[in-house]
Amino acid sequence: MSQDWDAGRLDSDLEGVAFDTLAVRAGQHRTPEAEHGDPMFFTSSYVFRTAADAAARFAGEVPGNVYSRYTNPTVRAFEERIAALEGAEQAVATATGMAAIMAVVMSLCSAGDHVLVSRSVFGSTISLFEKYFKRFGVEVDYVPLADLSGWDAAIKANTKLLFVESPSNPLAELVDIAALAEIAHAKGAMLVVDNCFCTPALQQPLKLGADVVVHSATKFIDGQGRCMGGVVAGRGEQMKEVVGFLRTAGPTLSPFNAWIFLKGLETLGLRMKAHCANAQALAEWLEQQDGIEKVHYAGLKSHPQHDLALRQQRGFGAVVSFEVKGGKEGAWRFIDATRLISITANLGDSKTTITHPSTTSHGRLSPQERESAGIRDSLIRVAVGLEDVADLQADLARGLAAL
């Protein structure tokens, strides 16, 4: 875009607007073409007016695009929209959700630093910390998610980050984010929250005191299971380090995927309300069925952290996990008996999905690690989509009949 181009009235005035308006319009800066929709910029590099202009941009002396590994207008629009929705100074997009976690640790930690991780995190997150970050000298310990005194006691002099998912995958466990942020900050550490399950439509961890938020945009931000991506959001000084990591290492989001995510964000608020309504109805129904031993969903009054969810979230999310009679064999019979719901480990889709965590998403963990995380062989996870809830109940009834 020309540096002397002024969009003027063509760009929307977003001063003081609400969340749903930001989700539709934030981050869009119209070009001289005056397009109404979000454009896609498919280019690996950018041209410069002069050699001096190129040198100044590469040196960071003047703003502007340099190379699409770390700056692209479509990706930047997505980053600015996420930053607006999370209440962050800056957001940085990545190729996947796991790349977002990697970028945070690689840019904010060094060999000899200590990281505390919740035991209730995604299986690949544990593998990333255990198999790779430890190899490069980062110390890692694990703490039960909700145990605030345990977090406080586990912090060391060299603790740099506390990393949590809240709600967790797949058991919908929560931590009091504001209280944990106070604990971290009192000892000079930062709090990183994986906000994938709630999205900023239901929870804004930065406003609760967290320092950094990460997302797998592959999930609810996309909303239709089309492509992969991730994003990190926080203060500008931290995000500058994350940008530097992407500029060198290159786990960059593609412009096409960024455009898909921009379209997903336009309906995020509406979709999350519908997801939550369906999930609440299914969780309440499951809790009344024979063959179900326990239902994990924070929207249920039986959930031990139901009151906390009411305080720090604007909805209970779309993921319902439950334990069935018969262990692994019972869980597999249940899953195989369904005929409508998709058997896949992905979530955040308009289509409801069902999976067996102990042999899929958490299958690479040892039996001891799964037990520590509460991932039992009898556990089934349903990521509730946007179908008619009566049809979903009928399909899960097929699973119940197979127990």
Q: What is the pLDDT of residues 182-209, one digit of tens each?
A: 999 999 999 999 999 999 999 999 999 9
What is the distance between the alpha carbons of residues 296 and 379, in angstroms, rounded to a whole number? Answer: 10
- Choose among 225, 232, 223, 222: nearest CA to 190: 232
pLDDT at 374: 83
Percent of the chain whose pLDDT exceeds 70: 99
Angle at which helices 255-266 and 73-86 cross, to 10°: 40
DSSP category for residue 301: T
Q: Indicate the pLDDT class of residue 347, thresholds 50, 70 and 90.
A: very high
- Over 80: is that where the pLDDT of 110 sits? yes
Which has the higher per-residue pLDDT, 10 or 140?
140
CB atoms within 10 A of CB 236: 11
Considering 218, 238, 262, which residue would you say is the last residue of a domain?
262
pLDDT digits (tens, 9 = 90+) for 152-163: 999 999 999 999
Q: What is the predicted pLDDT for the residue at 3?
A: 53
Give me the residue label for tokens 């309906």.
Answer: 267
CATH code of the domain covering residue 242 = 3.40.640.10
**Together in a domain, 367 and 224:** no
Please tell me whether residues 136 and 235 are part of one structural domain: yes
Residues 353 and 291 placed together within one structural domain of the fold: yes
Estimate to the nearest angstrom the gap between the alpha carbon of 376 and the chain centroid.
23
On whether residue 330 sits in a domain, the answer given is yes
pLDDT score of 328: 96
What pLDDT digit, counting tens, does each position of 259-284 carry? 999 999 999 999 999 999 999 999 99
Q: What is the mean pLDDT of residues 135-160?
A: 97
Calculate mean pLDDT across residues 231-238.
97
User: Is residue 4 scored above 70 in pLDDT?
Assistant: no
Whether 207 is in a domain gets the answer yes
Each residue's pLDDT tens digit, 317-330:
999 999 999 999 99
**What is the C-alpha separation between 187 and 108, in angstroms, rounded?**
16
Task: State which of 262, 281, 299 marks the end of a domain.
Answer: 262
Return the pLDDT at 1. Answer: 41
Report pLDDT for 212: 98
Share of the chain above pLDDT 90, in %: 90
Is 1 part of a structural domain of the chain?
no
Coil, helix or strand for 90? strand
Q: Given the structure tokens 């796991």, which residue do they identify?
A: 98
Backbone phi and psi for residue 223, each to the nearest 5 degrees, phi listed first:
90, -10
Pair 146, 167 in one domain: yes
Residues 200, 299, single domain; the answer is no
Same domain for 295 and 248, yes or no, is no
Tokens encoding 14: 């977003």
pLDDT of residue 49: 94
- Last residue of one domain, picked from the residues 224, 239, 262: 262
Q: Are strands 139-143 and 114-118 parallel, antiparallel or unpaired?
A: parallel
CA–CA dist 213, 211 (Å, integer): 7
Distance CA 127, CA 123 (A): 6
Give how many domains the chain has, as a whole number: 2
Most confident listed range (31-45, 53-67, 150-164, 352-366): 150-164
- Say if residue 57 is in the same domain as residue 159: yes
> What's at 12, amino acid-wise?
S
280 and 252 belong to one structural domain: no
State the Cα–Cα distance between residues 99 and 215, nearest whole angstrom. 10
Q: Please check whether residues 153 and 181 belong to one and the same domain.
A: yes
**Is there a single domain that holds both residue 200 and residue 333?**
no
Query: What do you get for the CA distance between the two ends of the chain, in Å?
Result: 61
Q: Each residue of 381-403: pLDDT tens digit? A: 999 999 999 999 999 999 999 99
Same domain for 198 and 335, yes or no, is: no
Compute the half-sphere exposure of residue 192: CA atoms within 13 Å on the CB side of its CA.
Answer: 26
- How confident is the model at residue 8, as a pLDDT? 81
Task: Report if residue 6 sits inside a domain.
Answer: no
Residue 7 lies in a domain: no
Q: What are the Cα distances from residue 161, in Å, to 83, 110, 127, 183?
A: 21, 11, 17, 12
Mean pLDDT of the chain: 95
State residue 123's pLDDT score: 81
What are 117's strand-pairing partners? 142, 163
The enclosing domain of 374 has a CATH number of 3.90.1150.10
Say if 3 falls within a structural domain. Answer: no
Of the pLDDT bands very low, low, confident and very high (cuts 50, 70, 90), residue 2 is very low
Q: Is residue 142 part of a domain?
A: yes
Q: What is residue 256's predicted lDDT score, i.e. its pLDDT? A: 98
Classify residue 213: in a domain, yes or no: yes
* Per-residue pLDDT, 9: 84
142 and 237 inside one domain: yes
Q: Provide the residue range defining the domain that includes 345.
A: 268-399
Contacting residues for 311 by C-beta, under 8 A, at least 6 apart: none
CB 396 within 8 A of CB 286: yes
